[in-house]
Amino acid sequence: MKDMASQRALFLRLPPIVNGDAMLVRRGRFLNIAIGWGIDADLWIVRIRNGQIVEVTSSAEAGSRPSFSLSASAPAWEEFAQIHPRPGYQDILAMIDMRHARVEGDLLAFFSNLLYFKGVFAAARASSVLA
Amino acid sequence: MSTVLEPIIGRYVWLEIEGRRHRVYFEEAGQGIPLICLHTAGADGRQYRGLFNDPAVTANYRVLAFDLPWHGKSSPPAGFEKENYLLTADGYMATVMAFKQALGLDRPVVLGCSIGGRAVLHLLLRHGSAFRAAIGLQSALYADDPLRHQKNATEFLNRPDVHAQDAVAGLVSGLVAPQSPDADRWETLWHYMQAGPGVFVGDCHYYKVSGDLRNGLIDGLNTDACPLYLLTGEYDYSATPAMTLEIVEIIPGAKFQVMTKLGHFPMSENYAHFRTYLLPILSEINALRMN
């Protein structure tokens, strides 16, 4: 997962997983937003419309800034992606709390849809996007 | 499907707490040594249904769990609509002691988790001789915010433009260990989803401000009369095993064990696993009675 090409290939697997989860899409049905997903120094922009992921692009390709971004190192995301991660990596708030990850930007958007975003990141675990 | 009737009995009791009358709901099961169970912030006594339904517990213990005022089936006091709920150390201790007195419980064991895990320390400090033993789950001297380096997360949980029930569940969901069964994980979260507006945040006032025990008051506390047992799940990032160890360092008599494959809600997220840690402690306390 070190280069952009392999990250792009992995992120292509994410939208079908999220969009195929009817309850997760319903949870985000009022949500239209772009969020940032950082891996090491690279930032990916995930565009969400009515709870569905409609596009994943690199920040260089994206035309606008994300509302917020959640960033961690590649090894931290790989640990998060395990079925039973080590303590401190089992959840995005756990990673933030233990300083394995950092959230920046509009935290109101993040918290007001927290269960939805947790579902999106957990979908990455289920789809082995980050492993 | 055959009928499954659980042995739990639920009742209401009126308590006078800090000069106000409160209608408080509690459940109980079993007989023997009274065991008062204190729920986590923003939740209620249903978290202890595993203990209520475990004959290995109820054979020797009368297990009781009340919903704090404002929580679960306990009513907020008359006039609640004109005030902002805040749990204080004094109010919390007064509630536990009022419940103990109202039910005539003789030297009960007190078991609490999270804010309840803090409360057992306060009870030991202020009323140690009134209890037979104290069991703290996820006990810590203080609590930090997951965003402590940036912002206070709880400020997002009590505002009209945020669905607090979903947001609170989101805030605590990662505190459950990944090994815990999904059904129990989501039932634990459902309790949080049912809290009244501002209740979780009001409880956090005790957890983060009023009940902070980094004040030296419990340093060197004697546990001879009331043994202190501490159990902490390894996946809890709000009350970590390292934070519980800080208690052991200042209360050398405390007995501490880290629980593997458990998080912040051991009694409700995976009772079958939690009981392997709890039952030996309850047996030890029961043996003290026999000696």
Report mean pLDDT in 10-residue bins for chain B, 291 residues. Answer: 94 97 98 98 98 98 98 96 97 98 98 98 96 98 76 80 93 97 98 95 95 93 95 97 97 96 98 98 91 62
The answer to whether the beta carbons of residues A124 and A73 sit under 8 Å apart is no
Q: Do A115 and B170 touch (CB under 8 A)?
A: yes
Taking one residue from A and the other from B, the number of pairs with CB-CB distance under 8 angstroms is 68
Closest CA to B61 of B103, B29, B31, B26: B31
Q: Is B143 helix (H, G, I), strand (E, B) or coil?
A: coil
Cβ–Cβ of B169/A84 closer than 8 Å?
Answer: no
Query: Where in chain A are the domains?
Result: 4-126
User: How far B98 CA lies from chain A's nearest CA (Å)?
Assistant: 37
Please provide residue A117's backbone torsions phi and psi, each rounded to the nearest 5 degrees.
-65, -35
Task: For domain A4-126, say whether CATH 3.30.1050.10 is its number.
Answer: yes
Find the CB nearest A84 among B151, B174, B178.
B178
pLDDT tens track for A11-34 = 888 999 999 999 999 999 999 999
Q: pLDDT value at position B150?
A: 60
Tell me which residue has tokens 């070190």.
A2
> What is the value of ipTM here, to two decimals?
0.93
CATH number for the domain whose boundaries are B9-290 = 3.40.50.1820
3-state secondary structure of B229: strand
Which 3 state secondary structure label does DSSP give A38? strand
Residues facing residue A72 across a β-bridge? A39, A101
B-chain CB neighbours of A96 within 8 Å are 146-147
- Nearest CB to A108; choose among B156, B171, B174: B156
Can you name the residues that pair with B24 across neighbouring β-strands? B13
Inter-chain touch B178–A94, beta carbons under 8 Å? no
Helix segments in B206-270, DSSP class H: 241-250, 266-269
**Burial (CB count <10 Å: 0-12, 13-18, 19+), residue A61:** exposed
Domain range summary for chain B, segments of one domain joined by +:
9-290
By the 8 A CB rule, do B240 and B140 touch? yes
Closest chain B residue to A91, measured at CA? B174
Task: Give the DSSP letter of residue A86.
Answer: P
